[in-house]
Amino acid sequence: MARYSPDHKEKTRHAIIEASAGQMRIGGLDAVGVAGIMAQCGLTHGGFYAHFASREALLVAAIERLFDKAIDGISRFHEKHGDAALSRYVDFYLSPRHRDDLAIGCPIPVLATDVSRAGGEVKVAFDAGLDRLAERVGQLMPQTGSKAVAKKAALALLGEMAGVLGLSRAISDQKQSADLLSGKRKALAI
């Protein structure tokens, strides 16, 4: 009988979450199928239930991971750019590179519509992730009021950018798409 290291189960769970988050970032909630994710990880479908009680539990974990990565990304912008972090983050967010590379993208545009139709814990996880992301972006906002005011402004900014990014991805004309991104970037006084 094969023996596994003490952390094998946790590493396997992490691999399943990472694979699910990657698929979700590109194709939304429907891109995460238990059989496909397990096969991608080199595991059997039946082994899934040793790690998660349900597909919904996996979706929750993947959403949490996507928002963790988004928050880590903002922290890296802050470490690298200091006071200019918010401006640089907005530059990146509204760029053709971000539009075109779903693997590095923000989870909001791809998940917002799917989550609006989901329920239960999936919606709770998205709400919590969005709340944490807005709080982190709010820390980069010009401090003209309370943390609550900055967080509210950050949430509005994220909503605007996610909407524009999602629309730019839907437009087939690359020039029109790029014009939309650059027009919104110019309109933001950040």
Q: What would the pLDDT profile of 117-155 be if each residue is shown by its tens digit?
A: 998 999 999 999 999 999 999 999 987 778 999 999 999
| Cβ-based neighbour number of residue 20 at 10 Å | 28
The whole-number average pLDDT for the span 41-65 is 94
Tokens (6 digits) for 89: 């983050």
Q: Give the Cβ contact number of residue 53 at 10 Å.
A: 9
CB neighbours (10 Å) of residue 181? 22
Cα separation, 54 vs 61, whole angstroms: 11
Q: Give the residue ranges of DSSP H helices in 2-41.
A: 8-27, 34-40
Residue 144: exposure state from Cβ atoms within 10 A (0-12, 13-18, ≥19)? exposed
Question: What is the second-level CATH architecture of the domain 62-187?
Answer: Orthogonal Bundle (1.10)
79 pLDDT exceeds 90?
yes
Task: Tell me the C-alpha distance between 130 and 132, whole Å.
Answer: 5
Whether the CB-CB separation of 168 and 110 falls below 8 Å is answered with: no
Residue 89 identity:
Y
pTM over 0.85: yes
CA distances from 33 to 7, 28, 40, 102 (A): 25, 11, 11, 19
Q: Is the pLDDT of residue 189 over 80?
A: no
Give mean pLDDT, residues 1-16: 81
Domain ranges in the chain are: 62-187
> Quick one: which of 102, 115, 17, 104 has its CA closest to 64?
17
